[in-house]
Amino acid sequence: MELVTSILRSRKRLNPGHPKPIFIWEPVPDLCTPSELLNLTNALPYVDICSPNAAELASLLGDSELDPETGEVSTSFISTACEQLLGAMPLQSFTLVIRCGAQGWYVPFPLPLPIPSSPKSGALTYLTNSQPPSNA
């Protein structure tokens, strides 16, 4: 939080006419624990995009991101985890982007920020909770 506010103060002082930058935060893996969940939710209003990977999101919630039958990231888990996190933040001003390795990424809706409707890299899959989970 202090880093973001410091950057904003410096930018305003050096270039008052420039628009606010977009802050993208990838949480530190070692701090993705249930005991750090409150700190994460306190930091979310200071960033525009929070992008944990599926394992980090699961670790924050004390759960597993893997479907026990397939061994792949469970889109139903990711959807439920995002709903829980976003439900705790009714006045959200950030977007969650959950990175799911070879399965692509997941963005819950509604979005406070515009996100491209298709990725620029063919290696990524655009997953949303508006599509039926592939391994629910």
Q: Is residue 100 part of a domain?
A: yes
pTM of the shown model: 0.71
**Domain housing 71:** 23-112
Read off the pLDDT of residues 41-93 as tens digits, 9 standing for 90 and up: 888 888 888 999 999 999 999 999 898 898 889 888 888 898 888 877 766 67
Average pLDDT for 22-33: 90
Let me know if residue 135 belongs to a domain.
no
Helical H segments across the chain, by residue range: 2-14, 37-43, 54-60, 75-87
Distance (Å, whole) CA 80 – CA 78: 6
Q: Does residue 17 fall inside a structural domain? A: no
Examine residue 85 and state whether it is found in any structural domain, yes or no.
yes
Lowest mean pLDDT among 7-16, 22-31, 51-60: 7-16
SS3 81: helix
Q: How many domains does the chain have?
A: 1
For residue 1, tell me if it sits in a domain: no
Does any domain span residue 15?
Answer: no
- Which single residue is written with the structure tokens 């701090």? 31
- Residue 5 pLDDT greater than 90, yes or no: no
**Bridge partners, residue 106, by sequence:** 98, 127
Q: What is the pLDDT of residue 18?
A: 80
At residue 51, the pLDDT reads: 93
Res. 16: pLDDT tops 90: no
Which 3 state secondary structure label does DSSP give 59? Answer: helix
